[in-house]
Each structure stands twice: as C-alpha cells, then as structure tokens.
Structure 1
Amino acid sequence: MNARTTDLRRGALMAVAGAGAFAVVSACVKLAGNELPNAVVVFFRNLFALLVLLPWLARRGPSAVSMRTARPGMHLLRAATGLGAMYCFFYALSQMPLASAVLLNYSQPLFLPFIAWIWLGERPAPRIFPAVIIGFVGVVLILKPGLGWQGPAGLAGLAAGILAATSMAAIRRMSDTEPTVRIVMYFSVLGTLVSAIPAALAWQTPTTTQWLALAGAGSIATAGQLLLPRAYSLAPAAHIGALIYTTVLFAALIGWVVWQETPDLLSALGAAAVICAALIVVVTRRPRRQRS
C-alpha cells in the first residue's frame, strides 16, 4: 500500500468520525435551540468549543498556539463562511426535524466537488460524478417524508450547505501551509468574538438542561473541528466532502433513539444510496491538482 492510498484511507476514517461528532452536535443544538434564540445558541456553541480547545492547546506547548500566519485573508474567509453556515443551520434545526435539517446542511458535498474544481484546481475523477448523483438521489429520498416546502427554514438549510462547502474548500486551500490546530483556533476565536454581539442583543439565560446541551455541542464540535481539517489535508476536498454524507446516517439513528423518528422504505433506500456513494468515493483514485 503506497503513502497516497494510506493518506486517502486515513482521511476517510477521520471524515466519518467527524461526521458522527457533528451529528451529535446537531442533536444538542436542537435540544437547546427549540426555546433559546438562535444567536445565543451560536455564541455558546463557539464559546464552549473555545474553552475546551484552550486547555488542550496549553498541554501541547507554546508552539501549538502560535497565531502567526501568512494566510489571514483565508482564515477570515473560512470564519465568515463557517459562521454564516452555523447561523443558517442552527435556525433550520430549531424549525425542522433533525434529519431533515442535517440533510439540507449536508447538501454541501453536491457543491464541494465543483467548488474544489474551479477554485482549487482539483479535477474530480470521472467516478466522482456518478457518486455525487447517487448521493443526491439518496438525499432526496431521505428528505421526502414530511419535508414538503419549509420556507425560510428550508432555504436556510440549503444556504448552510453552500456556505459550508465554501468553508471546507478554504480549509483545503490553506492546509498546505496552515496546521490543523491553527485553522481550528482561528475559527474558534473569530467565531466567539463575532457571535458575542448578536447574542448580547438577543440574550436569554439558558436553563440547566440547555446549559448541558450547549456545553455538549461546543465540546464535541471541537473534536469534529480537529478531525475534519486533518481529513482535508490528507485527501482531496471532493472525496472528503462526499464522505460527510454519513452524517445523515448518524442523525437518523439519533432521531430514532431520542425523538422516535422511524424512517420509511424510501428513507432506508436513501441511506443505502448514501453509503454506496461514499464507497465509490473512497475507492476512486485521487485526482490530479491542476493549477493555473
């Protein structure tokens, strides 16, 4: 097994682990966001993530927390698109069933291969396109039950997917010079500072249960944030982006356990299509990067 194949598989495993983490985060956000203002939920998700991250960085020593970077503009783009996706996604979670909101947010793999192709010069291998189509069909099948037209919530979910895809491409763009820890640190600091302003304007004190849910969302999100940038540094954005589809499987399981959401036949077929798409992406050869 050559080093390139090893990197692709390691990246795939990290992407799936990160997907599971973000499914749990989504459930925590939904628990807290059903009654709290969206701005407050976004702020505390970022704050708790930062509070978990800082002690971990302190144990790694001064070199791990260096904020000196040659890519400040790319960090700002990553923070802006990532935070925008968070606001849109959390709003959708508060208004829609868990699986439906997660699926709309994770429509990002449908956009990411094309963003990566145009922006990063990563031409997808031919088999990527059938995989994207299969994944899209799977998403449609899973979304169908009870979704209908969700108005602002549905549009917010789709906007979250597009913004998240752009954010992931930004991570890939700077992963050759920026370590994972710095990428996560910049996002956590900028996200906390920026989201504090709207949170103060819409302030509502959380209950004990909401505090626990917010703390869980922030701490688990930190694990996901550390896993995904590393995954994107090991494998092409199109590959990792498609693997994020597995988040919907974890979300469906959580929805069944916590909210007794039982998928019908179409949802089960959609889940099978998502798994098929992920497998195609994993075995597809790493594409060549083309720079102008």
Structure 2
Amino acid sequence: MTKMQLKGDQERIAKPFAMPSAVIASQATRPQFGIILCLLSMLIFASQDGVTKVLVKDLPVAQLVMVRYWVFVIFALGYAAYQGSIKESLHSRHPWLQIMRALIGVGEIALFGIGLRYLGLAEMHALYAVFPLMTLGLAGAFLGEFIGLRRWIAAAIGFSGTLIILRPGAGVFELAALIPLLSALGFAVFNVLTRKISQNDTFATNMFYMAGFGAIAVTIVGLPGWVTPTPMQGILMGVLSLTGVIAQLFLIQALKYATAATLQPFNYTLLVFATLIGLIIFGELPDTWTVIGAALVIIGGIYAIKSKT
C-alpha cells in the first residue's frame, strides 16, 4: 500500500495485497537508507511466500487470502481515518473500475497462492517477474502511453526469458507454469486500472475499495470452506497477515528516501530472496534454464523502466 498514484513504469515486484507501490518522494535525500528499507521489504515478501507455500499444503488458499484481507480492512480503515474521514474515502469518480480492480487484485493473489502448491518459489517468481512488461504493453494499448523502440526491445528480451523458463515443446512444460503467468497478467491489469483511477481518486479511496470489496469477495468464497487451523498454522496465518502490512510500510518509507527509479532494480531482489528461501527451506534448486530465463526477464524489466524511448 502506498501513497502515490502510479506513473510510468514504477510498479513493484511484490505480493502483499497487490497494491500499487510507487510513491512520489518529495525529498528523496537518503537513497542508501531507502535501498535498505526496500531490501527489507523484499525479504519479508519472499518470506511470506515461503510461509504461504507451507500453509497451502493443508489449508484452502481462499482462507489464507481471506484472513489477510481482514487485516487489510483494519489497516485501510485506520489509514482513511488518519487522513481525515472514512466517509470521504467512499467517494470515487470510478466506482465500477474500483470494484473491478479490487476483484482482479484478490483473484490475482489467490492464483499466486495456488501456483505455490505446484511450483517452486524460484519458478513462480521468475515467471511472475514478467508483469512489468505486461503492464507496459497494456498501458500502451488501453491508456495510450507511448512505447518506444527500446521498450519494445525490452519486452522482447523479457518474453524470450519467459520462453526459456517454460521451454514449450521441449518435453518439460507444465500446465502449472501458466498459473504465475495468469497471476502476472492479473497484476498487470490491476496496475493499468490503478493508473486510470488514480488520476481522479485518492490513495485512501483506492485502498478502501481494494480492501473492502476484496474482503467481501474472498470471504464469500473462503468462509464456507473454512478449515480450522492447528495452533502453529494459526500463528503462521497471523504472521503472514501482519508482515504484509509491515513490508508495505517499509516500502512506503523507502520511497520517501529514494525515488522509485532508484529502487526499481532492487525490487528484483525478491526473486533472489525467494530462490534462496526455496533452496534452504524447501530444497528447491532451480535449473540452469530457469536461472538464464529469469536473468533475461529481469534485464528486460530494468531496461524497460530505464528507457524513455
């Protein structure tokens, strides 16, 4: 959750509440401190995915997302009250787009959780990391944003990396690999909608709709299938929910001290942290092709963000 409307290609690579995470820093005077906070937030996000991977073995994904959104609602209400008025946060120039965005956001998070049942952390994040390039294409098509030659080259590089990871026709392709790609597409659509509505609606309004309608939707699905967690699972669910807020607050603070352009390359450390957690905790060793493909996806993403033409 952040305080700025999305501009350009300053999205994050992260998985807390699928909220926009570019913040206009009025005084980005301590970039080193901002980078440290950004790295901490990425480490927490990666750790969250590790916890989720453990929990989805025995608990419904909808239940995990539901609990996280309940905490999210509390945070959104607190933020709206802090900004002045909860009632004012209800006023939107784009209420139907807000609702659509909230539903896409919660669905995208659920898809990512389902993917963790079948794929390793490194594979999930390597494929999901293509979402900034998807956002780039969608923003050009639906928002009329200019996409120059260099950004198309960046998109081609990232797409090549995705194909290397998937290796269609090589006998190693899994249908489960489409899950993180669908999740990435959902997050790309989410970001494009955010850009659109943020031209008129405040961050408090964006967050209020995202939390409220997301919580309603996932509760309708998740509550009927509730599985009583063990004490340890209950603790992990609590950790999962609270650390999401903490990581987002770290990211907000990071973007106060450093610009989004400065921090963007460090957002890709999420893939590095996720790979290390997958290796140390789950014994998942990504193969050479996954590493090469992920490197190309990251290069394409950074090149797209840095390119102006």
TM-score by length of 1: 0.76
Is 1:165 the equivalent of 2:188?
A: yes
Cα RMSD between the aligned structures?
A: 3.7
Aligned equivalents of 1:244, 1:56: Cα separation in 2 = 25
| Deviation (angstroms), 1:220 | 3.7
**Inter-CA distance 259–207: structure 2 relative to 1 (3 Å threshold):** same
Is 1:148 the equivalent of 2:168?
A: no
Instruction: Give the alignment of 1:87-166 within 5 angstroms.
Output: 87-142=110-165, 148-151=172-175, 153-166=176-189
Please tell me the residue identity of whatever aligns with 2:303.
I
- Structure 2 partner of 1:4: none
Aligned equivalents of 2:277, 2:88: Cα separation in 1 = 35
| Deviation (angstroms), 1:120 | 0.7
Q: How far does the alpha carbon of each residue in 1:54-110 deviate from its partner, in whole angstroms, 9 at most, with x for none?
A: 445444443797221111011012112112212222111122222223334444234
| Deviation (angstroms), 1:117 | 0.8
- Asked if 2 retains the 8 angstrom alpha-carbon contact of 1:242 and 1:277, the reply is no
Aligned equivalents of 2:139, 2:235: Cα separation in 1 = 37
Secondary structure at the counterpart of residue 149 of structure 2: coil
| Deviation (angstroms), 1:200 | 1.9
- Structure 1 partner of 2:215: 192
Could you tell me which of 72, 91, 109 is aligned with 1:86?
109
Aligned equivalents of 2:96, 2:150: Cα separation in 1 = 33
Answer 1 or 2: which has greater helix percent: 1
Please tell me the residue identity of whatever aligns with 1:169.
V
Q: How far does the alpha carbon of each residue in 1:175-232 deviate from its partner, in whole angstroms, 9 at most, with x for none?
A: 222222321221111111111112122110122332233233333434666759x98x
Please tell me the residue identity of whatever aligns with 1:199.
G
- Structure 2 partner of 1:46: 69
Identity %: 26
Is 1:24 the equivalent of 2:47?
A: yes
Q: How far does the alpha carbon of each residue in 1:99-156 deviate from its partner, in whole angstroms, 9 at most, with x for none?
A: 2233344442342222111111112121112212222333444556xx93433x3343
Listed as ranges, the gaps of 5+ residues in structure 1 are 1-6, 288-292
Stretches of 4+ aligned residues off by more than 6 angstroms: 7-13, 240-244
Listed as ranges, the gaps of 5+ residues in structure 2 are 1-6, 14-20, 23-34
Please tell me the residue identity of whatever aligns with 1:117.
G
Aligned equivalents of 1:71, 1:21: Cα separation in 2 = 33
Q: How far does the alpha carbon of each residue in 1:155-183 deviate from its partner, in whole angstroms, 9 at most, with x for none?
A: 43332222221111101111222222321
Aligned equivalents of 2:75, 2:248: Cα separation in 1 = 12
**Inter-CA distance 12–193: structure 2 relative to 1 (3 Å threshold):** closer
Aligned equivalents of 1:224, 1:213: Cα separation in 2 = 16
Aligned equivalents of 1:271, 1:45: Cα separation in 2 = 29
Q: How far does the alpha carbon of each residue in 1:6-53 deviate from its partner, in whole angstroms, 9 at most, with x for none?
A: x87987796694765543332232122111012212211211222344
**Inter-CA distance 254–194: structure 2 relative to 1 (3 Å threshold):** same
Instruction: Give the alignment of 1:207-218 within 5 angstroms.
Output: 207-218=230-241
